[in-house]
Structure 1
Amino acid sequence: MKIFSLTLAISLGLAAAPAAVAAVAPPSVEAFFENPDFSGAIISPSGKHVAAKVGAKGKRNMLAVVDLATQKIQIVAHFSDTDIANVKWVNEQRLVFDTNDRQAAQGDAMYAPGLYAVDRDGARFKQLASRRGQGFKQSSAQRDLLPWHTVMHRQAGLPESEWTYVQDLQFNGKETVSDVRLLRVNTVTGRSQLVERPGDVVAWLLDQEGRARLAYMLNKDVVEIKVRDDESAPWRTLASFKAFTPDANAMDPVAFGADNTLYVRTNRGADKASIFRLDLASGKMDDKPLITLEGFDFGGRLVMRGGKLVGVHYLQDGEGTQWFDPALQALQADVDKLLPQTVNMLDLPTDLQAQNVLVRAFSDIRPASYYVFDRSTKKLNKVGDTYSGIVPDQMGQQEQVRIVARDGQEVPTMLTLPPQKEAKKLPMVVLVHGGPYTRGTTWGWKPEVQFLASRGYAVLEPEFRGSTGYGRRHFLSGWKQWGLKMQDDIADATKWAIATGYADPQRICIAGASYGGYATLMGLVNDPGLYRCGINWVGVTDIKLLFTGHWMYRDDASETWRRYGMPELIGDPVKDAERFKATSPIEQAHRITQPLLMAYGGADLRVPLVHGTRLRDAIRSNNRQVEWVEYETEGHGFHVPANRIDFWSRVERFLDRQIGQPLEPK
């Protein structure tokens, strides 16, 4: 196979991928947490070109375009002070993209993402939106551009046109968006047109012809979905329902189809959410679902071509695809035959008869690689590897298991076992996801999980109640259960790992970020005999402080979420004050006696630094086994590679000291 990534490295004078390390030595921490040299690709509407983001250690991400007929590669855009980020084909000739400084933490950010367009040969470069504005220096020339808070719209938009859609984000004076205004912008001239809107909109959906026909609105705690028959027709209400409490009318529009059809995701009285077809003319929904995933809420993306539903990319324990078109089923089979060790997700050009298809291939032990499949020759050409320093044989295999909690409720849990070790009495890290009201795990390679597995640790990731994706009952049963049944699920999953023989009961550490950091701390409080140590980064330590905020620190919680959402999902700060005290780590600091690693960002707007400093000081009054690190300019998570590498190096040393070796028998 001809490897485009190697050609790119040579033509740009970049370092080639490192040779595989010896089997006895795991990949370095840098191999997991440096910015990837190659970070994705997209295929053009005709399938004749591929746009890719390429870079190297210490280099900025650049935008390259590959002509698949000639295999000629050309860099069409790059900057000296920032990196290419999101990229989208406008038409066969033109691309639109924005930027993101991968070397700057949140507190060091000097520029907005900006918005740019360029031809596939590098011609007609055009800046569309400013990178400077409120909080940024702005020149007079940039005042002719769209404002700095203009961002790309995720959908492709107007087919075979120089125009695309962008979003003008309106802020409410804090860090939260209160209104999203949709604009058409000509990517050659920069001319823009505001799309008529029915009021303050938080999300838009385009139909298959690129027309803005659905607006998602949020007023206090009520969602209203507005639709229109075409761009000259008046807006009308399709549905209205409560945003933060269970409502039988709730639905999530997914895609427009042909003949005035809308595909929506809803429960329709069932526990699991499915895809239903809704007729916009009559407002009636089919009685039976069109797509249902056994054991899971529907998650994924419908693949539409010519207004027709040709397939679905879905998410169960991991990603998968179901094609409804026989020709596409045969295409998938051809690719899978060539790549039998990976899950292979196909990215189709707009033209279903196009010669080339882009493939994203991955597994639990293999990071994503991108290929182009030629349908005429039935051959693959590699475009690039996202993490070139990873050796699959040194990664851990994954499986989702279903454990039963103490009250009988099923808890989906991802188990990753370290390579080349007997799966018996292993040191284990119980890794708790953040959110908490989100899907936490997906089968597939993840740097944090596989870094731990490569160091010899089993990794257990419970999808505690309150996690999404596993049905209405599982989600709702986690409401107002911080530190209670949500915490019990994590403990019960840990006890399952001990009972089945996977985990050494004397060598288990609990870890997590954000809500996962909170659960780490409450695990040390509630189950001190279960966890030998804890690792908390950017974790919540005071539930009351989530509601009140702190006079010294900004936070990014919207007033709508704080007023309507948090009381329903977390609790009422007045009525539930005693529960908040009993389940806040800051109030239980005297009970945390195990070794603890804590890391926070000084510029965090989600969980401000005061959460960490107060708890650190409270624990240290009776527990000197607290290791503390603050990354002064980082936000809610660690953006700068040097900081990620430093943090995970600390994690490696901490775990080695605490659970790396079996305890000597007394």
Structure 2
Amino acid sequence: MAWVQAATGLPAELFFKESELRQAVLSPSGTKLALSFGGDGRRVGLFVLEVDDTSKGHAVAHFSDVDVNDIHWVNDERLIFSTTDFSAGGGRPSGAPGLFAVDASGENLRMLVRRRHAPMQTGTHIVSRTLDWNHELLMVPQPRAAETNEEVLIAELKFGLDDSVSYYPLWLHTRTGRTRGAEVRAPGEPLRWWFDGQGEARAVMTRKDQYLTLHWRAPGQTEWQVLASGDVLRMPFLPHSVDDKGQLYVTHGEGPEGRTVLSLYDFASKAPGKVLVSLQGFDFQGRLLRGAPGERALGLRLTHDAETTIWFSAAHKQLQQKVDAQLPGRVNRMSCRRCDGKDVVALIHSYADVEAGRVWLYRGSPPQGQTEWTAVAAARKELQPAEMATLDLHRIRARDGHELPVWVSTPRRPAAGKPAVVLVHGGPWVRGWSWTWETWTQFLASRGYLVIAPEFRGSSGYGDAHERAGYKQWGRAMQDDVADALQWARKQGLAGEKACIAGASYGGYSALMGLVRHPELYRCGVAWVAVTDLELLLNGSVWIDDDTSDLARRHSLPEMIGDPVRDAEMLRAHSPVHQAARIQVPVLLGFGEDDRRVPLAHGQRLRAALQKAGNEPEWVSYPGEGHFWALLKNRVDFAQRVERFLERHLQ
């Protein structure tokens, strides 16, 4: 059977374990390469390789009780990084990751910011001026020619009684640990800052209750001017980035779909000006790639169906074409040094829908006896692209004519009868998918299932109109979109008559409501860390601890989901916990016992309601876990439970 071949050939652990390669970053001169690397039970450490001979490498930071994360070069001889603990459950108290600095040689390791809820790392140089946990990295400035940078820009976080967080910038010296003021004061409580390449504050967003105000300070000026203000859900435009020429890039909606575009702000007309990027069918999502200090940007890295880079520099364009020719049919994310010279050095992160990614080095003038191209590392080397599912984006029409993007992952060896799993993303106000390798879709496809992943209304990334069409539509039009995606796949001959619905968080809610609203479509449902009680989500409880802010409960959630008083009847009609008697098929439920985003009470209440209705669900809860399974043993255990559950009901 195809099922047996797939299951025995590709163990669940290969999909769900942490990637061995976490990050790769070139030094400013391009002579060194920093890697965060771990896997197979080893802690993730920080390593530095010589670009001209990658066999010459050494560990510069490796701890026994914590993993290295988020690395940056401060200068060619100094790095900074934060830490996390991949062996701890996801339900631990949320804590700051701290900040550490170390020389590329491995010497002068120093803790700059303490970690919260964690002991000090052995061997770290800790002094009295080490900052408390409520400080985090904002940016590493670009050094000017003939200068060696030693400082980074951090923020001191201050917490309000309404769960708000304000950010106050400081300069931090990575060798001495000394701080100095950033010589900038916000005209209110600062929610977010935008800086140029040298760390000069150009824009700041302040907040008062649910209202936002955007302020601007041009190069050479000390006073702030107001550019825009509005409700958190209704700003006329939002700042995206600033460059060293004093230009402000903003995003705003355009056209009947309200698709987000990128524009330069026109200070003369006091409004967004020339549109720089407009994507057909997608919101602009991307970042500015800075050039040398004082120069214009090098390009833009953005995502439509897949990631791409728009280079403004002719040298970068030419080099990107060379890379793409060498590694065709893939996304090739490139960074380079001396990009227009014969001694160019480029780092390429290359990935596709069928491969999690590989890192390559390209050298225009390699040492004698070496080749231009060097394979550095692979993210998941045990999984071969030829075994993975292909991913395609389709655009269909929902029952009311609304355009609906739908991603389909097609297995290499479909199981008999073309069984399907409708996989609903969480959020829901996020973009669920793009053309990349994804754990759950690949795991399910490896078991022979067609995976249908709709970007239902309410999802972001496809225009403001698409997102706002999901307001107050939990379990209603949003749920119809999910059903319409499956019915479309069946009409196209992609999916057979056997299907289950699955998802986490909001996706888990949708899986349960799919069984309530469209019972004829599904043979089973899988829901983990799922919202089951909309009244509990919107009102909270003095007896149940959660992390939903008072600000969200007062202002945004009543508009986006429903008002707990005026919409009480609608909310009850679309809460799985109150509609459990209508669920007649098998259900698998999974919850984290320390989840503060969707507390365990959601699961317990639904389990009791299903039992009362005579439909005993399969149940698992994980001690120490929160809104995601952080421990590998739990990720694998749940994946295997899902595998067995689907096998019983779809095979």
- TM-score normalised by L of structure 1: 0.90
Shift of the 635–231 alpha-carbon distance from structure 1 to 2, 3 Å rule, reads farther
Residue by residue over 1:248-291, the C-alpha shift from the partner in whole angstroms, topping out at 9 and shown as x without a partner, is x2x222221243211111125562111101145x4644643111
Distance 1:109 1:392 in 2: 38
Q: Which residue of 1 aligns with 2:178?
A: 191
Matched, 1:234 2:223: yes
The amino acid that maps onto 2:628 is: G
Of stretches 33-42 and 181-190 in structure 1, the one that deviates more from structure 2 is: 33-42
Distance 1:477 1:400 in 2: 21
Q: Which residue of 2 aligns with 1:46?
A: 29
Residue by residue over 1:5-41, the C-alpha shift from the partner in whole angstroms, topping out at 9 and shown as x without a partner, is xxxxxxxxxxxxxxxxx98953211111112222121
Q: Which residue of 2 aligns with 1:3?
A: none
Q: Is the 8 Å Cα contact of residues 521 and 536 (structure 1) preserved in structure 2?
A: yes
Unaligned runs of 5+ in 1: 1-21, 662-666
Residue by residue over 1:367-424, the C-alpha shift from the partner in whole angstroms, topping out at 9 and shown as x without a partner, is 11111111335822122111121111111001000110000001001000100349x9
Shift of the 184–657 alpha-carbon distance from structure 1 to 2, 3 Å rule, reads same
Distance 2:24 2:550 in 1: 38
Q: Is the 8 Å Cα contact of residues 158 and 164 (structure 1) preserved in structure 2?
A: no
Residue 70 of structure 1: how far off its partner (Å): 3.5
Unaligned runs of 5+ in 2: none
Distance 2:212 2:328 in 1: 45
Residue 42 of structure 1: how far off its partner (Å): 1.2
Distance 1:228 1:92 in 2: 31
Runs ≥4 in structure 1, deviation > 4 angstroms?
22-25, 108-112, 135-143, 154-159, 349-354
Q: Which residue of 2 aligns with 1:105?
A: 89
Q: Which residue of 1 aligns with 2:62?
A: 78
Share of identical aligned residues, percent?
Answer: 39
Shift of the 286–634 alpha-carbon distance from structure 1 to 2, 3 Å rule, reads closer
Shift of the 27–155 alpha-carbon distance from structure 1 to 2, 3 Å rule, reads farther
Q: Which residue of 1 aligns with 2:104?
A: 120
Q: Which residue of 2 aligns with 1:605?
A: 596
User: Which of 277, 285, 292 lines up with 2:278 in the alignment?
Assistant: 292
- Counterparts of residues 35-434 of structure 1 (less than 5 Å): 35-71=18-54, 72-108=56-92, 112-132=96-116, 144-154=129-139, 156=141, 160-172=148-160, 176-195=163-182, 196-198=184-186, 199-230=188-219, 233-245=222-234, 247=235, 249=236, 251-268=237-254, 271-280=258-267, 282=268, 284-285=270-271, 287-306=273-292, 307-349=295-337, 353=341, 355-376=344-365, 379-421=372-414, 425-434=417-426
Q: Is the 8 Å Cα contact of residues 84 and 99 (structure 1) preserved in structure 2?
A: yes
- TM-score normalised by L of structure 2: 0.92
Residue 157 of structure 1: how far off its partner (Å): 5.8
How many residue pairs are counted as aligned between the two chains? Answer: 632
Shift of the 479–516 alpha-carbon distance from structure 1 to 2, 3 Å rule, reads same
Distance 1:153 1:309 in 2: 19
Q: Is the 8 Å Cα contact of residues 244 and 568 (structure 1) preserved in structure 2?
A: no
Q: Which residue of 2 aligns with 1:444?
A: 436
Residue 550 of structure 1: how far off its partner (Å): 2.3
Distance 2:168 2:273 in 1: 35
The amino acid that maps onto 1:37 is: E
Q: Is the 8 Å Cα contact of residues 169 and 179 (structure 1) preserved in structure 2?
A: yes
The alignment partner of 2:356 has SS state of: coil
Residue 460 of structure 1: how far off its partner (Å): 0.5
Distance 2:544 2:161 in 1: 15
Distance 2:272 2:126 in 1: 54
Shift of the 623–381 alpha-carbon distance from structure 1 to 2, 3 Å rule, reads farther
The amino acid that maps onto 2:504 is: A
Q: Which residue of 1 aligns with 2:478?
A: 486
Q: Is the 8 Å Cα contact of residues 592 and 627 (structure 2) preserved in structure 1?
A: yes
Residue by residue over 1:93-132, the C-alpha shift from the partner in whole angstroms, topping out at 9 and shown as x without a partner, is 2111010000001344697422100111112211101124
Residue by residue over 1:509-565, the C-alpha shift from the partner in whole angstroms, topping out at 9 and shown as x without a partner, is 100000000000100000001011000000100111112212232211122211111
Shift of the 352–576 alpha-carbon distance from structure 1 to 2, 3 Å rule, reads farther
The amino acid that maps onto 1:368 is: G
Shift of the 215–136 alpha-carbon distance from structure 1 to 2, 3 Å rule, reads farther
Q: Is the 8 Å Cα contact of residues 141 and 197 (structure 2) preserved in structure 1?
A: no
Residue by residue over 1:593-616, the C-alpha shift from the partner in whole angstroms, topping out at 9 and shown as x without a partner, is 111110011111111110000101
